[in-house]
Structure 1
Amino acid sequence: MQKAFLIILLLIPFIVLSQTISGKAVAITDGDTFKLLTKDSTLIKVRLANIDCPEKKQPFSAKAKQFVSDAIFGKIVEVRVLKKDRYGRYISNVIYNDTISLNYELVKQGLAWHYVKYSKDKNLQSLEDKAKADKVGLWQDKNAIAPWEWRDHKKKKVKL
C-alpha cells in the first residue's frame, strides 16, 4: 500500500505536465495572467508560459492587457499546462479560437518579451526578432526595458 502511494506521489508532476484544461476566461489580471473557470466550476489562475508582458506602470502594459481581454475574455480557451509555479498558477500555453496561440500572438504584436531565462522556444524568439525589426508595439521604444529588469530595479530601489 505504501509503495503504491509513493508511486502515485511521484507521478503527480507528470500528470499536471500533460494536462489540457478547457474553460472560460473570466478575469484578466494583466497581459500574461488571467483566471479560468473550468467546466466543473473550479477557478484557476493561468500564467502564460515563456513570455513576459510589461508590468503595470510600464509602457504597453495596458495595451497587452487589453489585447488579452479582446482575445479571450468571456471565451472558451484551451490551456496546455506545463507546470504549476510556487504561487499555484498554471504555467501554460493558451489556445483561443481553436488554433491561435495567445503566447505567440502577444510576442508577435510586440506586447511581450520572449522570456529566454525560462524558455528555449525558437518560434518565440523568431517572433520577437521580427517584431523588434519591424518596430511593432513596445519595440517602437529603442530603450524598452524588459519586465524582469523593471522588477529587479524596483526591488533594488525599495532596499535603498
Structure 2
Amino acid sequence: MDDDAHHGAILIHLEDQAGRNRISPAHEPARCKAHLADILIRVVACRDHATRPKPQIDDDGLDAALLRVILLLACLWAPAAWSTELQGRVVGIHDGDTLTLLASGNQQVRIRLGSIDAPESRQPYGIRAQQELSSLAGRKEARVVVEDIDRYGRTVGRLWVGAVDVNAELVRRGASWVYQQYNRDPALLALEAEAKAAKKGLWALPPSERIAPWAWRGGDRRSSAQERSSAGALHSRAPELSCGAKRYCGQMRDCAEARFYFSQCNVSRLDGDGDGMPCERLCR
C-alpha cells in the first residue's frame, strides 16, 4: 500500500470510529476519554507515518488531511456535551432547583437547574420554592438541554416543560436567585430585577431573611444585624413581663412569656409532661 492510500485508510478508519463512538462526555466521561485517547494514538501514528521524508507526498494534501482529523476530534469532544438533550418524565422534586428525570430506558437522572440557585429547604422560602418547581414540572413530561455535569455528578441544564422555560419562570416568580457565578444568560438578570422590584416570592421577605443560598451553604445563616435585632427585641420586652393571673398556655402570647411564667412565677402546670419545656406548642 502506498503512503497516500495508507494515510487515507487511517482517516477512513478514524471517521468510522467517530460514527460508532459518538457519545456524550456529559454522561459517559470515562468512555469518551478512552475513545479519544485511542483516536489520538492513531492520529500520532498517522502523522509519524505521513511525515517521513518521501518525495511523492504532497505537503498541502497532508496538511489538509491532518486538519480533517483535528476537526473530527473537535466534533467528537465538544458538541456531544453541550448540545445533548434529555427527554423524560419528572418523577421527583428534591428542592427548589433539583429534580429527578426518568429518561429513556428507565434511567433516573438527577438534574440540577443551571444558572439559578433556589433557597435551601431549611432557608426561609425554601419549601415554597420547592412547591413552585413542583407546580411547574412535577409528574410532567419535560426535556433538559444539558449544559454540564457538576462535581456531584448531577446533570446541569435548562428544563423545558412544553414551551415553558422552567429556570426562567422560577426567577420570574421570585422562587430563585440567579446564580451569577455560573450564569451566562443576561435575560435572567432582567427577570430577577423585575421580580425584586415587584417584591415577588422571596423578595417579599424581610431583608434579614433574604440570604443568598450560596452564602447560606457557606455558613452565613444568620446575619449579625438579625442577631442584634432579635437580642434587642428580647431585651426591650423583658421589663414588660410580670407575674399576673395567667395560668394556661392558651393565655400566653409567645414562648418568651411562657418561659417567664414558668421560671419566674412558678406556674408549673405550663410544663404538662415534666420535661422542663413549658408550652411546647409555642416553644418547639
Give the structure-1-normalised TM-score. 0.88
Higher mean C-alpha displacement, 10-19 vs 112-121: 10-19
Aligned to 2:164: 100
**Match of 2:17?**
none
Distance 2:132 2:103 in 1: 22
Q: CA deviation at 1:126?
A: 0.3
SS of the counterpart of 2:151? coil
Query: SS of 1:46's equivalent?
Result: strand
Contact 2:115 2:180 in 1 (8 A): yes
Match of 2:201 among 137, 142, 145: 137
- How large is the RMSD of aligned CA atoms in angstroms? 2.2
8 Å contact kept, 2:128–2:175:
yes
- 1:136 Cα deviation from its structure 2 partner: 0.5
Identity of aligned residues (%): 36
Alignment of 1:1-160 (within 5 A): 2-3=38-39, 11-12=76-77, 14-96=79-161, 98-143=162-207, 144-153=210-219
Cα distance, 1:86 vs. partner?
Answer: 1.5
Identify the structure with the greater strand proportion: 1
Change (3 A) 1:131 1:35: same
In 1, distance between residues paired with 2:140 and 2:128? 19
Name the structure where helix makes up a greater proportion of residues.
2
Aligned residue for 1:81, secondary structure, equals strand
Question: Structure 2 unaligned runs (5+)?
Answer: 1-13, 15-37, 43-71, 222-284
Match of 1:91, SS state, is strand
Q: Distance in 2 between matches of 1:83 and 1:5?
A: 27
Report how many aligned residue pairs link the two structures: 154
Q: Is the 8 Å Cα contact of residues 121 and 130 (structure 2) preserved in structure 1?
A: no
Measure the CA separation in 2 of the matches of 1:37 and 1:5.
37
SS in 1 for 2:218: helix
Q: How has the CA–CA distance of structure 1 residues 5 and 28 changed in structure 2, closer, same or farther, with 3 Å as cutoff?
A: farther
Counterpart of 2:105 in 1: which secondary structure?
coil
Partner of residue 158, structure 1: none
Q: Report how far residue 142 of structure 1 moved.
A: 4.3
Deviation per CA, 1:77-126, whole angstroms, max 9, x where unpaired? 01000011111111000001x11011001100001001111113111000
Letter aligned with residue 3 of structure 1? I
| Counterpart AA for 1:109 | R
Q: Which of the pair has more CA radius of gyration?
A: 2
What TM-score, normalized to structure 2? 0.51
Using CA pairs below 8 Å that are at least 6 residues apart, which structure has the higher relative contact order?
1
Q: Give the gaps of 5 or more residues in structure 1.
A: 156-160
Query: Aligned-pair distance for 1:154?
Result: 5.6
**CA distance in 2 between partners of 1:113 and 1:72 (Å):** 18
